[in-house]
Amino acid sequence: MRQVRLTVLAAVVLASVGVATTPAGATATVPVTRVWVEPAAGLGFLDAAITQARTSIDMSMYELSDAVVEGDLVAAAHRHVRVRVLLDAAYAGAYANAGAAARLRAGGVRVAWAPAGQIFHAKYVVIDGTRAYIGTGNLTSRWYSSTRDLWVEITARPRVAAIEAVFGRDITGHPGQPASTGGLVWSPGSTSSLVGLIDSAHHSLLIENEEMRSYTIEDALTAAARRGVAVTVVMTASAEWASALGELARAGVHVHTISPRGLYIHAKVICADCAGPRGTAFVGSENFSYSSLTYNRELGVITTSPAVVEAVERAVSADAHR
């Protein structure tokens, strides 16, 4: 799968921060410096970031099974970079992450298990306390070539510091309920931020998600369609969501499903009133499920950065026509 990563330099999109404005009623936004759309971009940007780290690497990951990333982390620890990795342990998490945990510990990396009673579904990496990479996808290399995911980079110091503060509490076993402020969207408790973004749309909504089992999100999408917003939802076809998607379609939502044998929609994105560089986008780990929005540890961003808006709009629009 590593050949996918070699295309990253051509696929990176640089953001021109501050061109677009935040719609009335939407949450505050965070400037994003770069965005990557998978599977085309590859994960070379993350390899490079870890390799170039000078002082610290903090990673929170739901699933980790990537020999290159694991090797990068071990190599960083060997050159005296402080490397801390927090892995999900809930349900099958301890089994799925056991191999990576053992290999990292053997290489001198500090590995901690998240509390077994709470799903830690967030996917982010903070480098040197100055830049954070936040994604919709896990670091499991077997799925890189067949999965739609997105990653963003932020360098705004207050937001990076806020992420580090939450990580510091989580890795010491004292997770709390961080506030979704400054464009960062945290779970537990992310429902209001996402509904606020959906409610802010005047003309259009583009949606991709892996799950559709939140009545609150479904009601917000239905209300948007009924007030005349053009709502497009793209998901992988599954009997689990068929009933919910049928209800949305009857309410006027344009629902598109993709065969599981094609590109798997793992992205969790919302784009409100996106047209060219203008609009407001969400990119994060939150699925549209009650547990993801209410109980899990999740992290996403709401942004008006044009590069993200354009990337999300292009990806969802292309997937809707597969």
- Do 154 and 78 fall within a single domain? yes
- Those residues whose C-beta lies under 8 Å from the C-beta of residue 168, and which sit 6 or more positions away, are none
Q: What is the pLDDT of residue 260?
A: 86
- Do 282 and 172 fall within a single domain? no
69 in a structural domain: yes
3-class secondary-structure state, position 285: coil
Place of tokens 């021109």: 16
Q: What is the pLDDT of residue 3?
A: 35
Rounded-to-integer distance, Cα 185 and Cα 151, Å: 15
| Minimum mean pLDDT range among 12-16, 36-40, 89-93 | 12-16
- Do 60 and 101 fall within a single domain? yes
Rounded-to-integer distance, Cα 98 and Cα 173, Å: 19
Place of tokens 């070699």: 6
- Do 135 and 240 fall within a single domain? no
Where does the pLDDT of residue 239 fall: very low under 50, low under 70, confident under 90, or very high at 90 and above? very high
Q: What is the pLDDT of residue 17?
A: 33
Residue from 275, 250, 270 nearest 200 by CA:
270
- Do 208 and 126 fall within a single domain? no
| 34-78 pLDDT, tens digit each | 999 999 999 999 999 999 999 999 999 999 999 999 999 999 999
| 137-181 pLDDT, tens digit each | 999 999 999 999 999 999 999 999 999 999 999 999 999 899 999
Residue from 10, 12, 1 nearest 311 by CA:
12
Return mean pLDDT, the chain: 92
- Do 114 and 250 fall within a single domain? no
Q: Which of 178, 209, 234 is the last residue of a domain?
A: 178
Cβ–Cβ under 8 Å, residues 13 and 34: yes
CA angle 55, 308, 69 (to 5 degrees): 35
Where does the pLDDT of residue 6 fall: very low under 50, low under 70, confident under 90, or very high at 90 and above? very low
254 in a structural domain: yes
- How is 155-185 classified by DSSP, letter by letter? --HHHHHHHHHHHHHHHTT--------TTEE
Q: What is the pLDDT of residue 11?
A: 36
The domain tally of the chain equals 2
Cβ–Cβ under 8 Å, residues 19 and 278: yes
Q: What is the pLDDT of residue 27?
A: 54
Query: What pTM did the predictor assign?
Result: 0.92
Residue from 177, 208, 178 nearest 282 by CA:
208
Average pLDDT over residues 305-316: 98
Q: How many percent of the chain have pLDDT more than 70?
A: 92
Q: What is the pLDDT of residue 20?
A: 35
Domain that holds residue 210: 191-320
